[in-house]
Amino acid sequence: MSLEFSTTRALVDGKELNIGFLSLDNAVLCFLWEGVKPVLGTLTVSLPGRVSSTLLGDKDSLLGSILGDQLSSFFQKMTLVSTNLKTLRGESIGKRVLEITRETFMKREVE
């Protein structure tokens, strides 16, 4: 048994944005961080059916809930999302994160 952890990197407003992704048999883990070094941030758990709860922290919790809802609906699994954004803010960042996630991880799972 091995864990296949996937990552993707994008430049958004001149800042490095990283997304790490791990799909388990019963859950999906997603880590979102700004900068080079991976860091844990606000933790949100989501279940299929758009049920989300922030477990730890409050910064970026809305983004974590939206991303978790999208992932749990797509994969029909429990989703744990960690978000840690230092300077990136606003609606455009949320849209960009969702685009990157869909393009990278959701497409890969379908193939």
Q: What does the alpha-carbon distance between residue 71 and residue 110 come to, in Å, rounded to a whole number? A: 13
Q: Which residues, listed in sequence order, are joined to residue 22 by a DSSP beta bridge?
A: 5, 29
Q: Quick one: pLDDT at residue 58? A: 86
- Domain residue limits, the chain: 5-110
- For 49-79, write each residue's pLDDT tens digit: 888 999 999 888 888 898 899 999 999 999 9
For residue 5, name the pLDDT band (cuts at 50, 70, 90).
confident
Record the tokens describing residue 80, joined without a space.
Answer: 């744990």
Record the tokens describing residue 56, joined without a space.
Answer: 């730890």
Looking from the CA of 111 toward its CB, the CA atoms found within 13 Å total 7
CA angle in degrees (0–180, nearest 5) for 61-74-16: 50
- For 22-38, write each residue's pLDDT tens digit: 989 999 999 999 888 99
- For 34-54, write each residue's pLDDT tens digit: 888 999 999 999 999 888 999
**Phi/psi of residue 18, nearest 5 degrees:** -120, 140
SS3 at position 66: helix
Q: What does the alpha-carbon distance between residue 91 and residue 4 come to, in Å, rounded to a whole number? A: 31
Sign of the dihedral defined by the CA atoms of residues 102, 14, 16, 65, in that order:
negative
Q: Quick one: pLDDT at residue 107? A: 63
CATH top-level class of 5-110: alpha beta
